[in-house]
């Protein structure tokens, strides 16, 4: 899980507080005075301010002072449902004030303060979630509230998405990630998280579109390329995937990861000779590339199995037709079968060296070599290396008794 970027970049505006005049609206002046008191009957002041607003809907100061009173009450209200309701009221009042006086820096400053305060509450709740998972639900709501205050801000949407993920709400994280990107977020992690969520929700084509866009933005990002490769495979678009990696290999022939991924696609497509070529290039570039050694060995084994199937089919065909064939025709077919049997043996033998190297490297790296040993056992058994095959079987956890 990515560590949240919990620092929000906002513009701090100097708030210019003017002295209260003596000849203003008494309801507004009374509410402004209430802002300095310790104990306030908020509902009473809201009612009085609403009277002034009803009498003059263009009274920007009445809207602004009401919003400031609500902002103060917000600071005293921790019940999340009530708190969120107050945020909606505050946003409505601030918006009304700014519709009347869009360049009022004092009001803009109060909005900024409210945004920061609500964002901090979201951060605090998120941090509490590490000890109490139920706090993530509060964090989600606080970040939603922050987005109400500043709908054009990226950070609340991003942090809401991460809180949704932490709360186990994978699907609900999609919208805030989408909104963050819509608002201009171009972090590579945002694209990878969102594409993962798309794939988890059977939206593979959306994931592909997202990842292709991300790849153009971050052509060197291997996580994005790997995710795109997986998305192509998941959606059955093997030709598209192979074309993508063929182009990548052509543009960077010494990139071992491109070679490896292309080889993996070719192996999946049962194009064994082409896969071997790519895996061999990968280990030539990096002789310590354990997984490439492994897949090179697997390509040999899989091709050997394919040849063995051909041997079985040819042998069955000969048995069925033998009585109708001339001696020379039988001899010709038997010769072809013998050639395939030798090819099968050579392929199994070819698998041994890369598989042994893969086992050595994975073991040295602290990884479990059981999968490698299983393929190695198969190859060794087929070429008659009985003692080494038994040792590989033990490594693979295969009981030969």
pLDDT tens per residue across span 332-355: 999 999 999 999 999 999 999 999
Nearest to 241 by CA among 250, 231, 249, 232: 232
pLDDT tens per residue across span 73-129: 999 998 999 999 999 999 999 999 999 999 999 999 999 999 999 999 999 999 999
Contacts for 199-203: CB closer than 8 Å, 24+ residues apart: 199/230, 199/231, 199/234, 200/170, 201/170, 201/171, 201/174
pLDDT tens per residue across span 138-152: 999 999 999 999 999
Least confident segment among 103-112, 147-156, 197-206, 233-242: 233-242
Q: Which residues contact 175 (CB under 8 A, 6 or more apart)?
A: none
Residue 255 has phi, psi (to 5 degrees) of: -90, 110
User: Do 18 and 104 meet the contact criterion of CB atoms below 8 Å apart?
Assistant: no
Whose tokens are 């069925």? That residue is 320
Q: C-alpha distances in angstroms, 21 versus 18, 26, 29, 44?
A: 9, 10, 8, 22
Angle, CA 357 vertex, CA 351 and CA 361 arms, to 5°: 140
With cut-offs at 50, 70 and 90, classify the pLDDT of residue 22.
very low
């Amino acid at each position: 899980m990515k560590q949240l970027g919990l620092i929000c970049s906002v513009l701090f505006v100097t708030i210019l507080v003017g002295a209260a005049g003596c000849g203003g609206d008494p309801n507004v002046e009374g509410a402004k005075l209430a802002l300095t008191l310790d104990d306030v009957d908020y509902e009473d002041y809201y009612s009085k301010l609403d009277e002034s607003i009803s009498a003059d809907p263009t009274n920007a100061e009445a809207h602004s002072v009401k919003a400031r009173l609500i902002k103060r009450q917000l600071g005293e209200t921790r019940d999340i449902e009530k708190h969120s309701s107050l945020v909606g009221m505050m946003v409505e009042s601030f918006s009304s004030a700014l519709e009347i006086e869009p360049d009022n820096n004092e009001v803009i400053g109060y909005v900024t303060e409210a945004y920061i305060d609500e964002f901090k509450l979201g951060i605090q709740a998120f941090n509490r979630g590490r000890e109490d998972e139920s706090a993530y639900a509060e964090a989600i709501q606080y970040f939603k509230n922050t987005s109400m205050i500043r709908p054009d801000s990226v950070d609340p949407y991003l942090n809401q998405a991460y809180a949704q993920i932490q709360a186990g709400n994978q699907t609900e994280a999609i919208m805030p990630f989408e909104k963050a990107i819509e608002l201009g977020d171009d972090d590579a992690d945002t694209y990878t998280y969102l594409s993962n969520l798309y794939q988890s929700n059977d939206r593979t084509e959306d994931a592909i579109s997202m990842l292709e866009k991300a790849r153009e933005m971050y052509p060197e990002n291997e996580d994005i390329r790997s995710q795109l490769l997986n998305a192509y495979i998941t959606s059955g678009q093997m030709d598209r995937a192979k074309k993508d990696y063929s182009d990548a290999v052509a543009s960077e022939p010494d990139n071992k990861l491109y070679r490896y991924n292309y080889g993996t696609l070719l192996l999946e497509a049962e194009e064994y000779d082409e896969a071997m070529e790519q895996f061999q290039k990968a280990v030539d570039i990096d002789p310590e590339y354990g997984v490439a050694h492994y897949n090179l060995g697997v390509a040999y084994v899989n091709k050997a199995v394919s040849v063995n199937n051909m041997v079985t089919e040819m042998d069955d065909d000969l048995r069925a037709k033998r009585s109708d064939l001339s001696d020379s025709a039988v001899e010709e077919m038997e010769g072809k079968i013998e050639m395939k049997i030798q090819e099968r043996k050579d392929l199994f033998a070819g698998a041994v060296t890369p598989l042994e190297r893969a086992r050595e490297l994975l073991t040295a790296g602290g990884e479990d070599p059981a999968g490698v040993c299983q393929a190695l056992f198969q190859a060794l058994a087929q070429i008659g290396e009985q003692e080494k095959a038994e040792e590989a079987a033990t490594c693979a956890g295969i009981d030969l008794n």
